[in-house]
Structure 1
């Protein structure tokens, strides 16, 4: 199972908690906050729509199963469609890359696959043309980049709460830097302050001397790399993304404590890069989120609830016991004995 067990019960506001399945069933794509029903974007390709299979996926929500880790260490964000509004035209990207592939002496004999990986198998000329397509589409997305609603407030809250924040994206590092500047401006943060650390993009190497960059999502290597740098376990991390294929698969394969699927407006958008996905029960489970939210503001409410519950548990677990005129104060993080001081009444 991909989710961490919990000793404490996660409290979610009943006014925003609902399930995608019927009230008589406890099987769903996970708990949904602020999202009554899924709907498919009318412009999305049929290959990218996972809504029917997600609704059929079975993840039981038992009383001892956490939707998010009870003591989160940090939050890893996808960028496109998550921290910023969906602006990359994947349908155009697939069409243009496949046209290059079909015209390439090597590519014409290849089976259509992920548009981010196929260029590596083409001739040098084919790779150059694919690079031009990526630059064109991604530059237009950068020019039209807008922050996701509620994003700045969520990131500000996480930083103030002492949680780490990082970005894992299939976009390029330079485009992530532009996104980070927009967040800094919105949050009124100085340029010398880093709000996302580390940033892992499709051209990021785990070590400078490595020949190849880290494998992109749905491979879990990027998440594991970030956890290693943070010095924490994946079970202590929440991963947030808008793609079931890429983001939820990567999060579940890495063993993240929370796999949060963001569906703004309740819509499944076209984020399909063209690779085939399996339909076995295990493969569907990999794409199944533990929590679905309609907005980053709803996610902020959920994390606030988790942190409030954690604080309450710390207070409950802190015990004061008198023993031989000493007071012993203890909690999960510390224990100290203080000699009792007698004070006579006056």
Structure 2
């Protein structure tokens, strides 16, 4: 996926964790981790229920990380599943719309609107740099449950 390695490198440089929620099978997640050497933990596959858009998978990650949902960002390419999951959990939601399909007027009045919308994973890096605030000293920011996003609509 274009920009994934760069985004993960940025997150690593800030000691920011990353999790994965997918409807794919665990074997596919394992292949992804192995092939791209990008580890997401926890990585919840379709074996975890209930599925998105239920907030349970994201709340499970928050519990595992011992953070509040408002301290994380849910990034996904589906308004119906990913953004709804994030918003229902109380997280910041970022819609990845690589094709521009959500620019259509039919999506103007959806139940759950993202806090941010990007067209590539590389834009998330810029978005985080522009909106991330640290509750600790920014010079020594550790990323351990210490970040929040300044919410501005897309």
Supply the distance in 2 between the matched residues of 1:168 and 1:227 (Cα, whole angstroms): 12
Supply the distance in 2 between the matched residues of 1:183 and 1:305 (Cα, whole angstroms): 27
Query: Which of residues 294, 304, 308 in structure 1 aligns to 2:119?
Result: 294
CA deviations over 1:74-113 (Å, ceiling 9, x no partner): xxxxxxxxxxxxxxxxxxxxxxxxxxxxxxxxxxxxxxxx
Is the CA contact 1:248–1:259 (under 8 Å) kept in the aligned structure 2?
yes
The structure having more radius of gyration, on CA atoms, is 1
Is the CA contact 1:219–1:250 (under 8 Å) kept in the aligned structure 2?
yes
Supply the distance in 1 between the matched residues of 2:57 and 2:126 (Cα, whole angstroms): 27
Supply the distance in 1 between the matched residues of 2:54 and 2:88 (Cα, whole angstroms): 8
CA deviations over 1:139-163 (Å, ceiling 9, x no partner): xxxxxxxxx2111100111012111
Structure 2: gaps spanning 5 or more residues: 103-108, 139-145, 147-154
Is the CA contact 1:159–1:165 (under 8 Å) kept in the aligned structure 2?
no
Residues 1:215 and 2:50 are matched in the alignment: yes
TM-score by length of 1: 0.36
Instruction: Report how far residue 264 of structure 1 moved.
Output: 1.0
Which residue number corresponds to residue 198 of structure 1? Answer: 42
Residues 1:263 and 2:89 are matched in the alignment: no
CA RMSD of aligned residues (A): 2.3
Supply the distance in 2 between the matched residues of 1:295 and 1:182 (Cα, whole angstroms): 21
For 1:230-245, list aligned pairs within 5 A: 230-245=65-80
> Residues 294 and 220 from structure 1, CA distance in 2 versus in 1: closer, same or farther, beyond 3 angstroms?
same
Q: Which is helix-richer, 1 or 2? A: 2
* Equivalences, count: 134
CA deviations over 1:211-256 (Å, ceiling 9, x no partner): xxx2001111100011000000100010000000111111111110
Which segments of structure 1 move beyond 6 Å, counting only runs of 4 or more? none
Bigger relative contact order (CA 8 A; separation at least 6): 1
Supply the distance in 2 between the matched residues of 1:292 and 1:183 (Cα, whole angstroms): 25
Which residue number corresponds to residue 32 of structure 2? Answer: 179
For residue 117 of structure 2, give the secondary structure of its aligned residue in structure 1. Answer: strand
Supply the distance in 1 between the matched residues of 2:62 and 2:118 (Cα, whole angstroms): 24
Structure 1: gaps spanning 5 or more residues: 1-147, 188-194, 205-213, 269-280, 316-332, 334-346
